[in-house]
Chain A
Amino acid sequence: MKHNYWKKIIIALFIVVFLSGCWDSRDINYRSMPILMGVTKDEELFHVYMIIPVSVVSEQRNLAKVDGKGATIVDAIEQLKKKIETTIDLEHIGYIVFDEELGKQGIEKMVKTFMRMRDMPSTPSVAFVKEDMNDYIEMMISTFEEVGVPIFGFLEKQTGWEIYNPEVSLWEVYRGIYSYTTDIAIPIISSNQDLATGYFGAAVLKEGKIIDTLSSMEVMLMNLLNNENVIKTFVNINDTTNVELVDRSVEYDYSFKGEEIDLTIKVEFIMIVSEADDHLTGEDIQKKFEEKMKKDMLQMIKKLQDKHVDVLGIGNRMRKNYTNAELEKFLDEIYPNINVDVEVNAVIENNGKIRNLNNDDFEDWDQQKQD
């Protein structure tokens, strides 16, 4: 009996060891981990670029460019893999950039392929590149080697992200393409001689094709209306006045009146006056800010409604009221006819480190002086 027991254990151990296939796994130093993938099309062939960090002990970390061409995305990646001695491990890809031209033709299929691939994460940030892909990659690498800053921080929330650009990851693009009630805006960037990245606003996608672009101001409004973080956001009211947003809350109220849908977006801001004209009181600033916000927001929403795209996810909030068949036509039939109104409420938390003298009432003080 006891003998049998040991036999079983030994057999189990053998099975565990020999069926695990652990010898197929490769150590981390035999893998290349690309951090960026650039996709463009070259005379009907997909052209995939990758940036791979190359590190040698006691030397500066460098970036290497590799590229491959193929009839499909996967084919191009396979061609690229053939050129490299180590295994390519796509798990660490943090950024995917598409050629803007490709965006105009539609990136639906590519996004679908990426989502399908098992060794590709669904989290990389996505952007369009305005210039030639090769130039872009070269420029990024040379910038990195000269300055040594972490590249592509622009797209990442923890490093260089600002409220003026949309932060979009691959799965959100996929959702934006295939969802009936929401769309997605992807930033358009280019390389630059300096540290800066060229930024040209966001491309609005409808079914994978670029149909419009939003300016950086519009993107900011979009982010404010979506639930993005607003810390350290400065808004210009006019040439001389500037406020810093500290907090905001958004509420979407909708009501049905027969065929008509009324949507009221209530936005509340808490802000700090950071730059102001001498003659303006707090109330003036507040009023001007509210008016400006309301005007800009309504303008942007109108623009989006005209193009039948819903980057704010308005449809998401009311999709429970429709059947699946109705939702299929939601963006084209129902969404453009929604009556949208915006209510803006602003509260000035403080005036920065100095007092706004216009807010003070000097009557008491004057009386005392007379006495």
Chain B
Amino acid sequence: MDFINQIEDIKQKNKDLQMKSIMINGISYDIVGFESLVDFSATWEIVEMLIRNEEEKSSETAGFHSKNTSWKKIEFSKQIQALYEGKVIIWNRTEEVSLIVDPVSQPLYRSIEVPVNESIIYGAKDAFTENSHQNIGLLRSKYQSKDIEVLTTQHGKRNRRFSFLILKGTTDEKMVEMVKKKIEDYPNEIKQVKDIHVAFGFSKFSLITRISSTELPENAMEYIEQGKIVFFMDGYPFALVLFNTVFDVFKQPSDSNYLSVFVYSLYVLRIVGIMIAMLLPGLYVALITINPEMLKIQLALSITESRQFVPYSAFIEIIIMLLLIELITEAAVRLPLSISNTIGVVGGIILGQAIVEASLVSGVLIIIIAATTIANGIIINFENGITLRLMKYIIVIFSALFGILGHVIGLVVLCSYIARITSFGVPYVRWKKEGIQSENQ
């Protein structure tokens, strides 16, 4: 009765562990499982049927049994582990063998829903969920071929599952093996995406997102076909895409559902948007503070007019406004949806109007800030948008120091920074669309 004792012991500590006994044909069975993970009322039937089947089968030919569902002596620790994974154990008291069964589990995962973070107009409207099995299923339904293979590994005390998708012939399998090994070898717990960055050996202070997340199975499939490595972390409702490249800032797969001419003008628009989002605040500081001679006289005069009673220098002024906008953005994310609209109105309209009337900042700056904030939203992925949000401060600082010259220096610094970024030998700035090759190989 060693097993029963130990179960009793665990039950003392975990009130949701259930142990139920059943007598069939004079043999008593114990059914053990976590109430919080297993739907017992639905599982009961399966269990009963299984035991009866087993009784009959054992008198008939042995051969139908699949390996997993056969009665055998299993190590106690393995059984406990199975319990925590949401399985049910059927214990035969007399023979002291057990059977591990996949039960009907509690509805712990949400169903497939419309994407929330990446809104698209034309394109598939399903989104990944927290359950990586479901996510893989979504991808398999999009690529119904034997070429898709799934590689799984588990890591850490949490026993977190990582599933890698491999498209035969396209995905670099050596690299997938290497990435998998990096995750397996990581000594600490992988809690968030940041830990994956650390496990892969990327710098924590990188301005560029190396591993991007996408919510759309359509995008993920496209990335797999481009040769990127797509993998799922259980509990994270996004596909993680290794090798985020500079192209992904301008392009997303669902663009191609539009008219081609429109798509190309869309790319141009996005490039212009990136330019505005990155350069405009810096340009303002440079032109107002250090190089006003570059403005046309009419523009110079109207800016002078709007700055008439502003007490701060342009740098302080723009930092105040940028900070305010960041606060509004972050507050709108944190707050419930119904209240975040109010934040938009209060922050954007009322504060913007009042701050100009109070002469704390100039009216021209409000236009600049508005243009910057709007342009920042045009970038494909929110993560890439964060990069731009950070980069513009560098340009603003350089512009405040050296004017237009500093503006250009800031741009050069950023360009050289971006140009030197590689992940596993694959450069961030790469113009080839298909196939990922490491430069080290």
Contacts and interface: CB of A to CB of B under 8 A. Distances in A.
Interface stretch (B9-17, B116-124, B306-314, B342-350): B306-314
A61 interface: yes
B400 A22 contact: yes
B313 A33 contact: no
B74 to A, nearest CB: 49
B297 A25 contact: no
Interface in A1-55: 16-17, 20, 22, 25-29, 31, 33, 35, 53, 55
B290 to A, nearest CB: 5
Interface stretch (A86-94, A223-231, A314-322): A86-94
A39 B289 CA distance: 30
Interface string A99-129: 0000000000000000000000100000000
A56 interface: yes
A55 B304 contact: yes
Contact of A92 (B297, B303, B305, B313): B297
A20 B405 CA distance: 12
A56 B309 CA distance: 10
B290 A25 contact: yes
Given A25-B289, A121-B293, A20 B301 contact: no
Contacts of A57: 305-306, 308-309
Contact of B293 (A16, A25, A91): A91
Contacts of A26: 289
A195 B290 CA distance: 37
B307 A22 contact: no
Interface size class of B (residues with CB under 8 A): 20 to 34
A27 B401 contact: no
Interface string A57-74: 100010000000000000
Contacts of B309: 57
B403 interface: yes
Given A17-B401, A22-B401, A89-B292, A28 B308 contact: no
Nearest to B296: A92
Contact of A27 (B295, B305, B307): B307
Nearest to A16: B401
A55 B301 contact: yes
B382 interface: no
Given A17-B401, A20-B401, A28 B293 contact: no
B297 A28 contact: no
Nearest to B307: A29
B288 interface: yes
Nearest to B402: A20
Interface string B176-195: 00000000000000000000
B224 to A, nearest CB: 37
B97 interface: no
B261 to A, nearest CB: 34
A3 to B, nearest CB: 15
Given A55-B301, A57-B305, A29 B289 contact: no
B419 interface: no
A151 to B, nearest CB: 12
B300 to A, nearest CB: 6
Contacts of B295: 28
B310 A92 contact: no
Nearest to B362: A29
Contact of B307 (A17, A25, A28): A28
Contacts of A20: 401-402
B293 A92 contact: yes
Given A17-B401, A25-B289, A121-B293, A33 B305 contact: no
Nearest to B308: A57
Contacts of A94: 297
B316 to A, nearest CB: 10
A269 B288 CA distance: 48
Contacts of A61: 301, 305
Nearest to B309: A57
Contact of A55 (B305, B310, B401): B305
Contacts of B306: 57
Contacts of B308: 29, 55-57
B304 A29 contact: yes
Contacts of A22: 289-290, 400-402
Nearest to A35: B297
B245 to A, nearest CB: 27
Nearest to A29: B307
Interface centre among B288, B293, B307, B403 (most CB of A within 10 A): B293
Nearest to B317: A27
A89 B402 CA distance: 18
Contacts of B289: 22, 25-28
A89 B400 contact: no
Interface of A: 16-17, 20, 22, 25-29, 31, 33, 35, 53, 55-57, 61, 89, 91-92, 94, 121
23 contacts: A17-B401, A22-B290, A22-B402, A25-B403, A28-B287, A28-B295, A28-B300, A29-B308, A31-B292, A33-B292, A33-B304, A53-B297, A55-B302, A55-B304, A55-B305, A57-B306, A57-B309, A89-B293, A91-B292, A92-B297, A92-B300, A94-B297, A121-B293
Given A17-B401, A28-B295, A35-B297, 18 more contacts: A16-B401, A22-B290, A22-B400, A25-B289, A25-B290, A28-B303, A28-B304, A28-B307, A29-B304, A31-B292, A55-B302, A55-B304, A55-B305, A55-B308, A57-B306, A89-B293, A92-B293, A94-B297
